[in-house]
Amino acid sequence: MAIEGADLVKAAAFLGAGFAMGLGAIGPGVGEGMAAAKACEAIGRNPKEAGLLTRTMLVGQAVSESTGIYSLVIALLLLFVV
């Protein structure tokens, strides 16, 4: 079968989007889990500070989430814009 240039480019963009979002999801998933684990531990030791600890956890997780959102943006760019 003959593969045309435009078809090949589209196929590569689709594959790239899948790998970008898939691989990009690993790090934030693990990292946010670690942040939450430490927050649970800290609340277990010092339950009075639960509010402060939950807030810190969420801020830290939001920062850790950023690379996952970069991956999502790049995947959507590859699918719809490029």
Partner 1 sequence: MQFDVDVWLKVGSYAGGGLAIGFGAIGAAIGEGYTASQANGAISRNPSISGEILKTMLVGQAIAESASIFALVVALILLFSPSPGHSFVNVWALFAAGICVGLAAIGSGVGAGYPAGAACTGTARQPSLSKRLTTNMLIGSAVCQTPAIFGLVISFILIYSEAAVKPLWPTWAAVLGAGLSTGLSAIGAGYGSGLVAGASCEGIARQPKAATVTTNSMLLGQAISQTTAIYGLLIGFILLFKSYPESTDLAPAMALLSAGICMGIGGIGPGIGEGICAHSAVKWIARNSEQAGVLSRTMLVGMAVAESTGIYSMVISLILIFVL
12 binds partner 1, rule: CB under 8 A: yes
CA dist 38 and 31 (Å) reads 11
What single DSSP character describes residue 58? H
82 binds partner 1, rule: CB under 8 A: no
CA nearest neighbour of 61 among 42, 34, 24 = 34
58 binds partner 1, rule: CB under 8 A: yes
* In the complex, least distance from residue 49 CB atom to partner 1, rounded to whole angstroms: 11
63 binds partner 1, rule: CB under 8 A: no
**Interacting positions 18-57 with partner 1 (CB under 8 A):** 18-19, 21-41, 43-45, 47, 50, 53-54, 57
10 binds partner 1, rule: CB under 8 A: yes
